[in-house]
Amino acid sequence: MKIYGALLVPLTFPLVAASDDTWSSFQNGGNLNPKIVGVDFSAEGCFERNHQWSTRLMGYGQSSPVYDGKLLYVTSVKGKSKENCIIQAKRIEDGTDIWHYQLKNSSPETNSNYVSRAAPTPVCDQRGVIAFFEGGNLVALNRDGKVRWELDLVKKFGPIQARHGLASSLEQDGVNVYVWVERQQSPYLLAINKETGEIGWKTDGLGVTSWSSPRRVPVGKSHHLVLSGIGKIAGYDPKSGKQLWLFDKISGNSTPTPVPIGNGRFLIGASSGRGESTTGKAAQSNGLVQIRSKDGKYQAEFVWQAKQATSSFGSPLAHGGQAYFVNRSGVLFCLDLKTGEEVYTARIKSSVWATPLGIGNQVLLFGKDATTTVVDAGQSFKKLAVHTIWKKDQATESEGSAAPSFGGPVLYSGILAGKSLIFRRGDQMACVRCK
């Protein structure tokens, strides 16, 4: 591990929320308990009636938009070799651009369905936005679109070669942004000062296949930075980069990101057939993990493991005392969050590529086919509605469309931004007001 400069000071000012109740919005994850709990998404046609705007993006991307309480930020790439990296800041009222910023990709690669395309989700706070692109470009912009600092990680640390490209989103606290580059050779994890762009520390990555993202998990009065990749989960000290613990009793955990639920616990999801041979135990790799301190050392262990539930690209959801997993075939598993016992299993319209969202007594499942299935958050399965944001005549995508391989536009994210739901597919965003 290399240390760059002095260690950074703790949080000294509050973060602006990325939604009403959480600043870490690239994964909806645990209970948000949003203030709009009275909203009913079950009414037929409610998305259509409250659909405020749709906007075509300047490029194509797989990242989630983020919201700082005022502005929406979204990233994309453009060109035959993803030559241009784009950040757009939009008004939430109508989806129009306030500003946009473009930079040249430091590692151009042929734009296709088989490599990531603006997959890392940015982070934002009251300063502005910090965006990361799979070519190695990292840039911090103020709210007015002016560059605060910029880093070329390829120029600094060498080429980035990763199977299907990088997809790891950024994580942050009040001082640092955390960047995980799980490349094939010499993977690394960085802590970078959000104000200055100075590197606080650099440490080794996991050395495995991964497209998940780092998450800060509360442990006692501090946090651990948790990374998950096939066959390994590890916790790091955000202040020093020191690895605090390693857990390897798991497989298939290449894509879902750990979902913090408090008190050193997090949900973990895993699938099968993603580059490793122990696929028969996929369900046992989905469950609730607890971080404990014993004899001055930290360790992680399963509180419970699922019997049947597995995941796809979307991370699990914790909501209303229950845990939700959706597998690659579109089967929804609802488990008791405390015990892991199965509450129910049901098939929904399609699998999910975005993490579900729990709002009040409803759970929103963002299908990869650009539909949103609304289910009751109770003890039995009740499908309340299936909504479509984009009509069939709006199905064309640009910049290496996903349609030929995946059967149409893919819904990559759905987030709560204030009192609006924001949806993102490769080439477009849309807004539904929560009335």
pLDDT digits (tens, 9 = 90+) for 170-190: 999 999 999 999 998 999 999
Q: Rounded to whole angstroms, how far apart are CA atoms 52 and 421?
A: 10
Residue 23 pLDDT class (50, 70, 90 cuts): very low
Residue 165 pLDDT class (50, 70, 90 cuts): confident
Q: How far is CA 131 from CA 77, 81, 247, 258, 407, in A?
A: 12, 19, 30, 21, 29
Has residue 392 got a pLDDT over 90? no
Contact 366, 409 (CB under 8 A): no
The pLDDT tens digits of the residues spanning 63-82 come to 999 999 999 999 999 999 89
DSSP state of 56: E
Tell me the mean pLDDT in the region 372-376. Answer: 95
The dihedral built from the CA positions of residue 146, 151, 152 and 155, taken in this order, carries a sign that is: positive
Has residue 274 got a pLDDT over 90? no
Site of tokens 């942050």: 172
Residue 38 pLDDT class (50, 70, 90 cuts): low
The pLDDT tens digits of the residues spanning 126-148 come to 999 999 999 999 999 999 999 99
Contact 313, 327 (CB under 8 A): no
* Rg of the chain in Å (alpha carbons): 20
Least confident of 45-54, 177-186, 255-264, 273-282: 273-282
Q: What is the pLDDT at residue 368?
A: 86
Has residue 288 got a pLDDT over 90? yes
Q: Which of 155, 104, 93, 148 is nearest to 124 (CA)?
A: 148
Q: What is the pLDDT at residue 24?
A: 43
Q: Rounded to whole angstroms, how far apart are CA atoms 371 and 21?
A: 25
Contact 259, 319 (CB under 8 A): no
Q: What is the pLDDT at residue 434?
A: 83
Q: Which of 328, 191, 341, 319 is nearest to 254 (CA)?
A: 328
